[in-house]
Amino acid sequence: MMQAPVVLWILSAVVCVGKSHHHIGHGEEAQGTAAEDSESKISLVTSANKEFAFHLYWKLADHAASQGKNIFFSPASVSAALAALSVGARGETHQQLHSGLGFNSSQLTQTDVDQAFRTLLANTASDKDISQGSALFVDNLFKPKPEFLDVLKQFYSAEGFSVDFAKTTESTNTINQYVSDKTNGKINKLVESLDPRTVMYLLNYVYYKGKWETPFDPEQTAEDVFRVEKNKEVQVQMMRMEEDVSTYYDQALNTSVLHLPFNNSYSMLLLLPDNMTMLERNISPTHVTRWLKWMKSGRYKIYVPKFSIKTSYKLNDVLTGMGMADMFGDRADLSGIAEGQKLAVSEVVHQATLDVNEAGATAAAATGIGITLLSFRHIPELRFNRPFMVIITERVAENVLFLGKIVNPNI
């Protein structure tokens, strides 16, 4: 039987990229044990999501290394999309998805995972600076199981739409318009072309827009040099600031870490290593925890390039390399989506954008911060004028929203 393709799109946009996540209550004390159990399950999923973020980064870094490319993606978005897909997976396909995502099957059932994502997405929904959700585009002749649709709607904030995939141009435009609306135009052409055999598109989006707690003064921004590699330099618009900032020097990784908080519960961590390969191979969630805990405040001159980048990934090979192979081929078991149909995932695609400017937000006016010249004492510098890593994370829960590496701010 010919397989009908199911396409998984994952996209995310950050406008330079956070607000407090309000805790979801669990009722009266009589429900205490259930609440504690629920908290434990959420903690297991959150921990797995953090590990998955860096595993996916390592895979993307392997692919990008030889091409000298920037890396930028939303592990939160990829995790949510694959978890939503796992609702309809069965047998070995389901086991591979959960194992690849880091969910221990002896500790977490599909229901546990679904409930954890509902809580995580509800926390996100309480933040005016973040928009995250899912959408399901279903061919009007294809009939998914009602329970599959119900779980996606209830637990993964999924909106459902009926389209005619035989009309490829029309359905392409419908999906692209939806994505553009959800990401405020940052991702406006997710779909280039559609296979007319497609029966379902599942996508997850994240849009994040935050302002720096301490904005840069646009009048201090000036052209400067960024060293892409040993014998290659490019001109960039370099933002400058002299402020009390939080930093950490990780001696084990030979990496300087700069903490730039947004005026909410998120922060951007900028990592400047002596050796990028060493940092990339060894970085893990425990490092992020350590940095956020042991940051020290001090006065620095900081130099950060202003940039706007867009990345696009087809993740089939990467996810196959992470043990999630069956969903793409003849062995796919997605029978939880529909009865009597042989389904397989044809593509998993992820797009992300990142804009970094003085205000921390696109086209936002910033009040200039006066910079005092203190020429009588030495003020240390942190100059991001060569490749560096970037992490956008919640400060307390340490949910990694975005992760990447800037090799060249101009591409």
- Is residue 361 domain-resident? no
141-189: pLDDT as tens digits? 888 899 999 999 999 988 888 988 889 899 889 988 988 888 888 888 7
Query: What length does the chain have?
Result: 411
Q: How far apart are CA 280 and CA 403, in angstroms?
A: 12
- Is residue 323 domain-resident? yes
CATH number at residue 132: 3.30.497.10
205-217: pLDDT as tens digits? 888 777 889 999 9
In contact, 385 and 225? CB cutoff 8 Å: yes
The tally of domains found in the chain comes to 2
Give the residue with greater pLDDT, 89 vs 193. Answer: 89
Mark whether 253 and 318 lie in a shared domain: no
Least confident of 34-38, 345-349, 350-354: 34-38
- Is residue 359 domain-resident? no
Its pTM stands at: 0.86
Mark whether 15 and 103 lie in a shared domain: yes
Least confident of 36-40, 125-129, 162-166, 395-399: 125-129
| Res. 363: pLDDT tops 70 | no
Radius of gyration for the chain, computed over Cα atoms and rounded to the nearest angstrom: 22
24-52 mean pLDDT:
75
Mark whether 260 and 328 lie in a shared domain: no
The rounded Cα 376 to chain-centroid distance in angstroms is 43
Q: Which domain holds residue 398?
A: 218-304+368-406
Mark whether 288 and 350 lie in a shared domain: no
Tokens, residue 52: 């998955």
Instruction: List, as one string, the DSSP characters of 117-170.
Output: HHHHHHHHHT-TTEEEEEEEEEETT----HHHHHHHHHHH-EEEEEE-TTSHHH
- Is residue 363 domain-resident? no
Sequence-ordered list of residues with C-beta below 8 angstroms from that of 102, at least 6 positions apart, any chain? 47, 48, 49, 51, 52, 55
Mark whether 42 and 134 lie in a shared domain: yes
In contact, 120 and 42? CB cutoff 8 Å: yes
Mark whether 113 and 201 lie in a shared domain: yes
Mark whether 123 and 13 lie in a shared domain: yes
Mark whether 223 and 344 lie in a shared domain: no
Mark whether 242 and 375 lie in a shared domain: yes
Mark whether 206 and 223 lie in a shared domain: no
Residue 9, Cβ neighbours under 10 Å: how many?
22
Q: How far apart are CA 2 and CA 18, in angstroms?
A: 45
Band (pLDDT 50/70/90 cuts) for residue 361 is very low
- Is residue 360 domain-resident? no
Mark whether 285 and 187 lie in a shared domain: no
- Is residue 362 domain-resident? no
Nearest to 54 by CA among 37, 38, 71: 71
CATH number at residue 226: 2.30.39.10
pLDDT confidence of residue 105: 78
Mark whether 226 and 165 lie in a shared domain: no
| Res. 288: pLDDT tops 70 | yes
- Is residue 401 domain-resident? yes
